[in-house]
Amino acid sequence: MRHALWIALVFAASASAAEPDPPGTVQLKLEVGKTAKVSAAPGAAVLCDDTAVASSEFTDDGEGYVVRGRGPGTTLCGVWLPGEVPGGLYRVTVTARKPAAREKDGGS
C-alpha cells in the first residue's frame, strides 16, 4: 500500500510540474547578468521562486524593480502588492551569457 501511495505522489508531483503557467503570465528571457524592468506599484515586492536563476533588485533610482538573470534555468517571479495581494507573474528564462566576440586582430 505504501508503495502505491509513493508512486501516486511521484506522478502527482510530475503532473503539477508540467502544468502551464497561469493566464496572464508575462514571459521574460534574459542572459546571465542582464536585467529586465518589471511593473510593480509603489509598495510592492517582487519575489522569485529560484534565486539561483533570477532575483529582483531595485532600479538604480529606487523607484521600481528589475529582475536579474543569475544562472541558466527558468523560474517564476511574482509581484506582491501591499496586503499580500498578487499583482502579476513573470516566467523568467535565463540563458548562459554569449561568448564575447573576438577582436578583429585575432586577439583572444
Per-residue pLDDT tens over the stretch 31-71: 999 999 998 888 899 999 999 999 999 988 888 899 999 99
Tell me what the mean pLDDT of segment 70-83 comes to. 96
Cβ-in-10-Å burial (0-12, 13-18, 19+) of 14 comes to exposed
Indicate the CATH number for domain 24-95: 2.60.40.1080
Per domain, the residue ranges of the chain are 24-95
- Please indicate, yes or no, whether the overall pTM of this predicted structure exceeds 0.85: no
Read off the C-alpha cell for 67: 529582475
pLDDT at 103 over 60: no
